[in-house]
A and B are shown apart, each in its own frame.
Chain A
Amino acid sequence: MLTPLERVVFLALAAGCLAYAAVGFRQVFAAIRRGHGGFPTDRWPQRVARTALQVLAHQTLWRTRRPVAIFHAFILFAFTYYFLVNVADLVEGFTGFSTAHRGGLWGIYNLVADVLSVLALVGMTYFLVRRFVFRPRSFRFNPQVMLLPGVEAGIRRDSLVVGGFILFHVGSRWLGQAFKLAAEGPDPWQPLASAVSTLFVGMPEPALEVGVHATWWVALGLILLFLPYFPRSKHIHLFFAPVNLALGLPQPPGRLEADGKGAARLEELPWRRILDAYACIMCNRCQDVCPAHQTGRSLSPAALEINKRYYLNRHLREFSRGAPSPPLWEYAISVDAVWACTTCSACVHICPVGNAPMLDIVEIRRRLLEEGEVPDPNLQDVLVKLGKYGNSFGKPERQRGQWTKGLPFRVKDARRETVDVLWFVGDYASFDPRVQEVTRTVARLLHQAGVDFGILYEGERNSGNDAGRVGEAGLFEVLAEHNIRLLDQATYRVILTTDPHSLNALRNEYQALGRRYPVVHYTEFLLQLLEEGRLKVVQPVGRKVTYHDPCYLARYNRVTEAPRRLLQRVGAELVEMPRNRENTFCCGAGGGRIWMREEPGQERPSESRIREAATLGVDTFVVACPKDYTMYTDAVKTAGYEGRMVVCDVAELVAQAVGVRAEVLAQV
């Protein structure tokens, strides 16, 4: 169909664009390779299969913004299909072979192309209207969020270019079909294009011919011209998102790398974190679920990835050749923001392209700490206490088991005696006076059920989970080594804990030191006791409650149903929080934040969560984590809900239901 001149010009254009694009892509690969870390060589067939399924089923997009996911599906399917279409059009241009007016497989091919073309146009129009007319709040960053100059304008420009590209590429190609059908007659297998072709039917033949050629050139020419633009555009996610998803994240997502080197600059990060910048689609989903950003603080995981990307865009040549880059806290994320992170991993969980901004933050923290840059004296004080006394309260180890003194029975010493269940109590459950009452209630429940359990008394140390997340890998090791020494000497079947942070450390983080412990959360264990009849419900709770999923339990460790079944068993009527299960909203204590001074912001994350609960018409807020207990008890007061909302631990409800005395029975 193309004239010889056209063919020559096209080939020349193709050669030029491909060469130019190759340079850009090569630089991108070189840039990513500057980061450290190995390349996984295992299970690639499974990875590819899993990712293909993920992408086609839009699994990662479905977690939030569902209407967007639908329209994106239109575009994604259209674009994937258009790979075939572009090839076919290229062939048609050079050989004249046309797929139109044929039945059978070609007919189906054309029908799908026709429908998808229109869907793509609809989808892309939706996205442009959404961004430029509706202007959702998600696209705005908090005022103190660090942004490279020109980023916001850059994102708008990029969106327009990509949007324009898709509209013109698909639109032009589809119009081209309409022109062709206007000359050749309608094709039953291309109903939509045929319908439009009726508009052109009256036009003279040469005009239609021009139309066909022009649209061909626009469609395929735009592809060529767009190729070198990819390295600068978020549209490169076409390549890097599936790759990122196929490479996967450590399990569970958010688990820290054992290597405690830390990173100040982009090139010091693992190469996976540089790849993240290229997979990022700048959708800001991560920012929407970030407890720091949502309460007005300077942290935006989205801004972090976007800044990295824009830095790379602007310095790609030097960077790909090994030039050093400035410290990340000078352009990508402010030091305040680095420390505002609660390590709740909501950003990691929600990201559709498999990014992990939280891991960048921990790497930066490691480096800041290594250089002695501790953000606030409270934190430094706590780290010193952890090192000296093995707990964040600065209490001597001897006092660790003193919470047991209020009990009418002796709790076995798992250091000396064999036990069935070794209860790893944790700092807050051991030392915080309010939580101690819950701890005693749990002990009474276990005793009532005849469970053979014991604790490590003075031998137990803080699990090290949060020390690691603050960036003190050395302190994590010291604490973990100590706990491991004791656990290795003890005889038990399973470890029980009420603290999701400790659970996460024992089950996941201790693998870095060669141990993987069988740990169960007390909600799972209490449920089991009820199901086995070792505890019996004598008086159902009969109360409407809502339940807050702890981050480290629901997101990191996927335990969401056991607490719910437990609540159901004891006769509580559960009204779900809008953000529940893996979408739970952090209380703000994690990542060492409970040890740091308050950062100025609109409100605390815990207050925001209480307000969320208040909209449900319930007066009982159920928690299953010691830090949640303290955070939300405070938040009820400071948010002004005292007397209207009461915070209650799951154990207290269970105790009430089975007729065991609870230390404190939450009364409104």
Chain B
Amino acid sequence: MDVVVCCKLVPDLVEELEVNEAGTDLDWAAVRWVLNEFDDHALEEALLLKESTGARVTVLVPEADGAEEVLYTALAKGADRAVRLTGLPPGAGSRALAVAFSRVLPSVGYDLILTGVQAVDDVDGQVGGLLAGMLGLPYVGVVTGVQVDWQVHKAVVRKEYAGGVVEELEVDLPAVLGIQSAQKPPRYAPVSKVRQLMREGKAEALPAELPAVPRAAVRRVFRPQTDRRAQILEGPAEQAAAQLVAILEERGLLRR
């Protein structure tokens, strides 16, 4: 009963993102890497499955600045194995990452693969879907809840649609699921536990080769032009409120 969580690190949006000189890509040197928040939910869902069914949880993380933190936090939260994939440069893209995962997964062993449904930088395709296609496994994304019956090799998942509609699907295992949110918010890993595990050095490393993948050519990367900028109503609260009320009245929005 092996659940593997495939993670990726993405640029932290808290920072100002710089475009490189040529305008063709992100300036990778200025990037702070953080765990994709949907992958955090995938990990949480995997840990919930561990708690309810006794499954073993393995976490795969490509090497980057901050990967150590992610690996040991996962172990501190309860993952059984944490593996660092070495040899992938930042900005390699989701497709390359998916190929790398697909080559490593058979040796890691899996019955169910969880990953975040998307990430802020996967314009070349979501890792979960790509991975499923490469491994020939069924894929369901935008999943908000997973139950597994290992005996019959089936999972029941909840998939979210727009407008609050949710559908329940039965999925044959092994499968890849793209997690939108876990059934509970991601748990907290106390810092002392993470540090303790770091001292013990339990994370492993596996080499991954950078594959050549078909990719649409990126011509340029730029900041979006914002042609419309709101007209700011100035002044203290009362003054701005009065201005707004006048605007609303003018537009006939203050009818009783």
Closest to A370 in B: B190
Identify which of B126-134, B192-200, B210-218, B225-233 touches chain A: B192-200
B34 at interface, CB cutoff 8 A: yes
CB-based contact B32/A372 at 8 Å: no
Interface mask (A363-407 → B, CB under 8 Å = 1, otherwise 0): 000000110101001001001100111000011101000000000
CB-based contact B14/A472 at 8 Å: no
Known: A377-B185, A396-B32. A387 touches B191 (CB 8 A): yes
CB-based contact B188/A394 at 8 Å: no
B189 at interface, CB cutoff 8 A: yes
Q: Which residues of B contact A389 (CB under 8 A)?
A: 14
Q: Which residues of B contact A388 (CB under 8 A)?
A: 34
CB-based contact B14/A394 at 8 Å: yes
A567 at interface, CB cutoff 8 A: no
Closest to A260 in B: B192
Closest to B192 in A: A474
CB-based contact A380/B14 at 8 Å: no
Q: Which residues of A contact B189 (CB under 8 A)?
A: 372
Q: Could you say which of A374, A398, A472 contacts B191, with CB atoms under 8 Å apart?
A: A472
CB-based contact A374/B194 at 8 Å: no
Interface mask (A523-558 → B, CB under 8 Å = 1, otherwise 0): 000000000000000000000000000000000000
CB-based contact A478/B15 at 8 Å: no
How far apart are the CA atoms of A372 and B190 in the complex, in Å?
7
- Total inter-chain residue pairs, C-beta < 8 Å: 43
- Which B residues from 165 to 192 make CB contacts under 8 A with A? 185, 187-192
Chain A's interface size range is 20 to 34
How far apart are the CA atoms of A370 and B185 in the complex, in Å?
17
Q: Could you say which of B15, B185, B188 contacts A383, with CB atoms under 8 Å apart?
A: B188
Q: Which residues of B contact A380 (CB under 8 A)?
A: 185, 188
- Which A residues from 462 to 489 make CB contacts under 8 A with B? 472-475, 477-478
Closest to B185 in A: A377
How far apart are the CA atoms of A389 and B12 in the complex, in Å?
11
CB-based contact B32/A475 at 8 Å: no
CB-based contact A374/B14 at 8 Å: no
CB-based contact B190/A369 at 8 Å: yes
How far apart are the CA atoms of A380 and B191 in the complex, in Å?
12
How far apart are the CA atoms of A477 and B195 in the complex, in Å?
10
How far apart are the CA atoms of A472 and B187 in the complex, in Å?
15
Pick from B34, B187, B191, B195 the residue with the most CB of A within 10 Å.
B191
Known: A389-B14, A396-B15. A372 touches B187 (CB 8 A): yes
How far in angstroms is the closest Cβ of chain B from A465?
Answer: 15
Q: Which residues of B contact A383 (CB under 8 A)?
A: 188
Q: Which residues of A contact B187 (CB under 8 A)?
A: 372
How far in angstroms is the closest Cβ of chain B from A374?
Answer: 5
Q: Which residues of A contact B194 (CB under 8 A)?
A: 474
CB-based contact A474/B14 at 8 Å: no
CB-based contact A478/B188 at 8 Å: no
Q: Which residues of B contact A472 (CB under 8 A)?
A: 190-192
Q: Is the interface of A mostly helix, strand, loop or mixed?
A: helix
Q: Which residues of A contact B193 (CB under 8 A)?
A: 370, 474
Q: Which residues of A contact B191 (CB under 8 A)?
A: 387, 472, 474-475, 477-478
How far in angstroms is the closest Cβ of chain A from B119?
Answer: 18
How far apart are the CA atoms of A389 and B69 in the complex, in Å?
13
CB-based contact A370/B192 at 8 Å: yes
How far in angstroms is the closest Cβ of chain B from A563?
Answer: 32
How far in angstroms is the closest Cβ of chain B from A637?
Answer: 11
How far in angstroms is the closest Cβ of chain B from A366?
Answer: 9
Q: Which residues of B contact A374 (CB under 8 A)?
A: 188
How far apart are the CA atoms of A355 and B195 in the complex, in Å?
33
- Which A residues from 324 to 383 make CB contacts under 8 A with B? 369-370, 372, 374, 377, 380, 383
- Which A residues from 105 to 138 make CB contacts under 8 A with B? none
CB-based contact A473/B188 at 8 Å: no
How far in angstroms is the closest Cβ of chain A from B30?
Answer: 10
CB-based contact B190/A478 at 8 Å: no
Known: A396-B14, A396-B15. A474 touches B190 (CB 8 A): yes
Q: Which residues of A contact B14 (CB under 8 A)?
A: 389, 394-396
How far apart are the CA atoms of A227 and B77 in the complex, in Å?
52
How far in angstroms is the closest Cβ of chain A from B76?
Answer: 9
Interface mask (B11-54 → A, CB under 8 Å = 1, otherwise 0): 01011000000000000000010100000000000000000000
Q: Which residues of B contact A396 (CB under 8 A)?
A: 12, 14-15, 32
How far apart are the CA atoms of A387 and B77 in the complex, in Å?
16
Q: Could you say which of B12, B15, B32, B195 contacts A474, with CB atoms under 8 Å apart?
A: B195
How far in angstroms is the closest Cβ of chain B from A473?
Answer: 6
Q: Which residues of A contact B188 (CB under 8 A)?
A: 369, 372, 374, 380, 383-384
Interface mask (B96-121 → A, CB under 8 Å = 1, otherwise 0): 00000000000000000000000000
How far apart are the CA atoms of A478 and B193 in the complex, in Å?
12
How far in angstroms is the closest Cβ of chain A from B198?
Answer: 11
Q: Which residues of B contact A370 (CB under 8 A)?
A: 190, 192-193
How far apart are the CA atoms of A91 and B192 in the complex, in Å?
62
Closest to A478 in B: B191
How far apart are the CA atoms of A473 and B15 in the complex, in Å?
28
How far apart are the CA atoms of A395 and B15 in the complex, in Å?
8
How far in angstroms is the closest Cβ of chain B from A189?
Answer: 67
How far in angstroms is the closest Cβ of chain A from B159?
Answer: 25
- Which A residues from 53 to 90 make CB contacts under 8 A with B? none
Closest to B191 in A: A474
How far apart are the CA atoms of A472 and B195 in the complex, in Å?
12
How far apart are the CA atoms of A474 and B191 in the complex, in Å?
5
How far apart are the CA atoms of A398 and B16 in the complex, in Å?
10
CB-based contact A473/B34 at 8 Å: no
Closest to A261 in B: B192
CB-based contact B185/A473 at 8 Å: no
Interface mask (B53-84 → A, CB under 8 Å = 1, otherwise 0): 00000000000000000000000010000000
How far apart are the CA atoms of A262 and B195 in the complex, in Å?
17
- Which B residues from 232 to 251 make CB contacts under 8 A with A? none
Known: A377-B185, A389-B14, A396-B14. A473 touches B192 (CB 8 A): yes
How far apart are the CA atoms of A395 and B13 in the complex, in Å?
11
How far in angstroms is the closest Cβ of chain B from A378?
Answer: 12
How far in angstroms is the closest Cβ of chain A from B4?
Answer: 22
How far apart are the CA atoms of A380 and B44 in the complex, in Å?
15
How far apart are the CA atoms of A370 and B191 in the complex, in Å?
9
How far apart are the CA atoms of A475 and B192 in the complex, in Å?
7
How far apart are the CA atoms of A369 and B192 in the complex, in Å?
10
Q: Which residues of B contact A475 (CB under 8 A)?
A: 191
How far in angstroms is the closest Cβ of chain A from B87?
Answer: 26
Interface mask (B136-176 → A, CB under 8 Å = 1, otherwise 0): 00000000000000000000000000000000000000000
Pick from B14, B187, B190, B195 the residue with the most CB of A within 10 Å.
B190
Closest to B189 in A: A372
How far apart are the CA atoms of A370 and B77 in the complex, in Å?
10
How far in angstroms is the closest Cβ of chain B from A467?
Answer: 9
Q: Which residues of A contact B32 (CB under 8 A)?
A: 396
How far apart are the CA atoms of A372 and B184 in the complex, in Å?
13
How far apart are the CA atoms of A542 and B188 in the complex, in Å?
52
How far in angstroms is the closest Cβ of chain B from A9?
Answer: 62
How far apart are the CA atoms of A389 and B34 in the complex, in Å?
11
Q: Which residues of B contact A478 (CB under 8 A)?
A: 191, 195
A–B complex contacts, Cβ < 8 Å, 30 sampled? A260-B192, A369-B188, A370-B192, A370-B193, A372-B187, A372-B188, A374-B188, A377-B185, A380-B185, A380-B188, A384-B188, A388-B34, A389-B14, A394-B14, A395-B14, A396-B12, A396-B15, A398-B15, A472-B191, A472-B192, A473-B192, A474-B190, A474-B192, A474-B194, A474-B195, A475-B191, A477-B191, A477-B192, A477-B195, A478-B191
Starting from the known contacts A380-B188, A474-B192, A474-B195, 7 additional A-B residue pairs (CB-CB under 8 Å) come to A372-B188, A374-B188, A398-B15, A474-B190, A474-B193, A475-B191, A478-B195
Partner-B contacts on A (CB < 8 A): 260, 369-370, 372, 374, 377, 380, 383-384, 387-389, 394-396, 398, 472-475, 477-478
Partner-A contacts on B (CB < 8 A): 12, 14-15, 32, 34, 77, 185, 187-195
Of all A-B residue pairs in the complex, the 4 with the closest CB atoms, nearest first, are A474-B192, A474-B191, A475-B191, A374-B188
